[in-house]
Amino acid sequence: MPKKVILACADCGTRNYTTNGNKGNERLELKKFCSKCSAHTVHRETK
């Protein structure tokens, strides 16, 4: 069963998205739209 992870903006730190994580040890990084920054930025998996 995949685990649920929270994605946070790398620039401002706002937690905007949730998604299903992977089973690997690497943290998930996706390019998503941040409403606070008003731009597409990298969003990283948080703990």
Would you kindly state where each structural domain of the chain is located, as residue ranges?
A: 3-46
Question: Predicted confidence band at 47 (pLDDT cuts at 50, 70, 90)?
Answer: confident
**pTM here?**
0.82
Question: Predicted confidence band at 41 (pLDDT cuts at 50, 70, 90)?
Answer: very high
- How far apart are the C-alpha atoms of 28 and 4, rounded to whole Å? 12
Task: Please spell the DSSP secondary structure of 9-36, one letter per residue.
Answer: ETTT--EEEEEEPPSSSSPPEEEEEETT
Question: Is the CB of residue 9 less than 8 Å from the CB of residue 37?
Answer: yes
The pair of three-digit structure tokens given for residue 7, joined into one six-digit string: 């994605």
| Listed residue (7, 6, 12, 18) closest to 37, CA to CA | 12
Question: Is the CB of residue 15 less than 8 Å from the CB of residue 46?
Answer: yes
Domain 3-46 class in CATH: mainly beta
Question: Predicted confidence band at 5 (pLDDT cuts at 50, 70, 90)?
Answer: very high
